[in-house]
Amino acid sequence: MLTSPELKRIPIFSCLDDANLMWLSQQVADLHLERGEYLIHEGELTPFFVVMNGTTEVLKDVMGRRTEVSEHKSGDFFGELAILMGSAAPASVRAKTVCHVARLDSQHLQELIRRSPECSAVILQTLNERVQVVQKYMLSLPSTRVQIAGSKFDDDCREIRTFLSMNRIPYEWVDRDRSSQPTSGNPACNVEGISVIVDDSFCVSHPPSVRKVAEALGFQTAPYQQTYDVVIIGGGPAGLAAAVYGASEGLSVLLVERKAPGGQAGTSSRIENYLGFPNGVSGDDLSQRAFRQAVKFGAEVVLTREVQKVIPRSTGGYAIGLDGEERVITRTVILATGVAWRRLEADGVDRFIGRGVLYGAARTEAPTVAGRQVFIIGGGNSAGQAALFFADYASSVTMLVRGEGLEHSMSQYLIDQIALAPGIRVETETQVVSAHGTDCLKAIETQKAGKPVIRRAADALFVMIGADAVTHWLPPQLRRENGYVRTGREVTDQPGWAADRPPFPLETNLPGFFCVGDVRYNSIKRVSSSVGEGSMAIAFVHQYLSLTA
């Protein structure tokens, strides 16, 4: 406990009389930190801190990089900016040396300001100075980390832009179909096809790829170890939840994701029915929070890598074969690969994939549809979220729904929002018959039940008509139903379970091999249920490991 004499030695408290010092000593928390311990993380609600002894460093995530922006020494205070502005912490703070820190809750800071005009003057003056410093700091920041030049019809260019967007890396894109503007004064970077420049200095070698860009930005793209307690395949909500809970409970965790964290959910513009976010949360925001949380607890998250083989070992556990002939060993596996969009069976559609026809709806497509006519095939939540998002950019958005309405496939809150959106039209009992154009999509033909075929101009067609599980690459003995992986009681209903115990819920017919999320047979296709299954799987992993120890 901090005493009145100790508090009196701190400049901000030196003006307090004995009664207020006594009151303060009863409210303040006495913290002792080792070097590297965090006081507050960026984005959290923050109390008010005073450094009694030692030095803290202020760290901010600037475009995907953790950067030290300032420090606090003995006698300094901080936290008043977020409290008095009613905002979250603008940066993280951790101990740079061994530190002794006093902490005051926001309620007690406001009471201190009310009790002492002298303290109030110091705090408000410092607040004003910090607001000016923040303004200057923000003006000094570059607006982008990556510059890209490439065609909107180039699949690699689209993949790079999607990867950057889902990882919250600001970028500037020059569409070479519209502009011949060079991206750099370096002639080596101004090549045919795609060029990518990182931090205004590093030119990614030609031809650029998502992995090369990820490595240039400092993302982990290869495992650090050879053996793990659990390897998680897939970085959607289920996989990220498993990584967070597994690492936080002391397991050595490797998560392998071939694109970017978030999966299909990561492309959702706004998820409004997820617990704890009454105003909604974008898929990439939710994914990035989970990604940072997993890494904070010590999980290895390897991006831009693909698991190509899972091989049961005779001695127990599994060998995981990654692309590039790399292999790691794990005691357990959690499959969380999600599903792939189902292909549209219509004449001419395949000719325009990536050239006006796209499966799914990444937010990075917003610039490509600005002022254009957009069609979305599908009546599920993903299609509804995409329609609402693109309506802010496109001249028109038309949803083509095969069924009689949206009520059986879409959440009511989305139906209500779509009904109020003037730029969205919903056409039921309608399907696409064919697609037309030369170099890119220019028109589609649609047919409503019992009506003649109609040809209409179309600049973009987003296909979201359900999904299929892509599991052909998994061990042949793994039990599946139409590609979806069977677990729990569904395993014991058929031959193939060899262990002398019933399978754990979420466990496949291969002991120690678990399956969660959309790829699991009979799963509920919602973000919240995927997160729940990912966290539950870790509890069963612990139970399995205790049996095999």
Compute the C-alpha angle 344/350/353, nearest 5°.
100
**Least-confidence region, from 298-302, 358-362, 397-401:** 358-362
pLDDT digits (tens, 9 = 90+) for 472-508: 999 999 999 999 999 998 988 677 787 889 999 999 9
Query: What average pLDDT score do residues 101-123 get?
Result: 93
Integer Cα distance of 13 and 443 in angstroms: 72
Pick left, alpha or beta for residue 122 (phi over 0 → left; psi -120 to 50 → alpha; otherwise beta): alpha
> What is residue 185's predicted lDDT score, i.e. its pLDDT?
55
* Cβ neighbours around 95 below 10 Å, total: 22
> What is residue 70's predicted lDDT score, i.e. its pLDDT?
87
Residue 179 structure tokens: 């502009």
Share of the chain above pLDDT 70, in %: 96
**Least-confidence region, from 158-162, 251-255, 387-391, 418-422:** 158-162
> What is residue 63's predicted lDDT score, i.e. its pLDDT?
61
The fourth-level CATH superfamily of domain 146-217 is Glutaredoxin (3.40.30.10)
Residue 508 structure tokens: 């496949």
Query: What average pLDDT score do residues 201-206 get?
Result: 87
- Domain 227-340+471-480+509-547 maps to which CATH number in 1.10.3720.10, 3.30.200.20, 3.40.50.300, 3.50.50.60? 3.50.50.60
Per-residue pLDDT band for 52 (boundaries 50, 70, 90) equals very high
* Cβ neighbours around 17 below 10 Å, total: 10
Look-up: residue for tokens 């729990």? 488
Per-residue pLDDT band for 268 (boundaries 50, 70, 90) equals confident
> What is residue 514's predicted lDDT score, i.e. its pLDDT?
98
Residue type, 369: V
Helix and strand numbers (H, E) in the chain are 14, 31
Say if residue 388's pLDDT is above 90.
yes
Task: Identify the architecture of domain 4-140 in CATH.
Answer: Sandwich (2.60)
Give the contacts of 209 (CB within 8 A, at least 6 positions apart). 156, 160
Per-residue pLDDT band for 258 (boundaries 50, 70, 90) equals very high
pTM of the model: 0.85
Closest by Cα among 488, 491, 492 to 479: 491
> What is the DSSP code (8-state) at residue 352?
G
**Least-confidence region, from 58-67, 246-255, 354-363:** 58-67
Query: What average pLDDT score do residues 141-160 get?
Result: 87
Instruction: Name the CA dihedral angle for 470, 532, 462, 305, rounded to a multiple of 10 degrees.
Output: -50
Segments making up each domain of the chain, as ranges: 4-140, 146-217, 227-340+471-480+509-547, 349-465
> What is residue 133's predicted lDDT score, i.e. its pLDDT?
77
How much is the mean pLDDT over the chain? Answer: 91
Query: What average pLDDT score do residues 276-293 get?
Result: 88
Per-residue pLDDT band for 546 (boundaries 50, 70, 90) equals very high
pLDDT digits (tens, 9 = 90+) for 413-452: 999 999 999 999 999 999 999 999 998 999 999 999 889 9
Closest by Cα among 61, 337, 59, 328 to 217: 61
Compute the C-alpha angle 210/214/218, nearest 5°.
175
**Least-confidence region, from 33-37, 80-84, 214-218, 381-385:** 80-84
DSSP per-residue letters across 183-210: S-S-GGG--SS-EEEETTTEEPPSSP-H
Query: What average pLDDT score do residues 139-159 get?
Result: 85
Instruction: Name the CA dihedral angle for 288, 290, 294, 295, rounded to a multiple of 10 degrees.
Output: 20
Integer Cα distance of 133 and 245 in angstroms: 38
Task: Specify which residues 480 forms β-bridges with.
Answer: 485
DSSP per-residue letters across 381-406: HHHHHHHHHHTTTSSEEEEE-SSS-S
Share of the chain above pLDDT 90, in %: 70
Let me know if the fold of 227-340+471-480+509-547 is the same as that of 349-465: yes
Closest by Cα among 345, 3, 354 to 162: 354
Say if residue 220's pLDDT is above 90.
yes
Task: Identify the architecture of domain 349-465 in CATH.
Answer: 3-Layer(bba) Sandwich (3.50)
Task: Specify which residues 15 forms β-bridges with.
Answer: none
Closest by Cα among 170, 289, 183 to 240: 289
Query: What average pLDDT score do residues 278-284 get?
Result: 86
Per-residue pLDDT band for 86 (boundaries 50, 70, 90) equals confident
Give the contacts of 422 (CB within 8 A, at least 6 positions apart). none
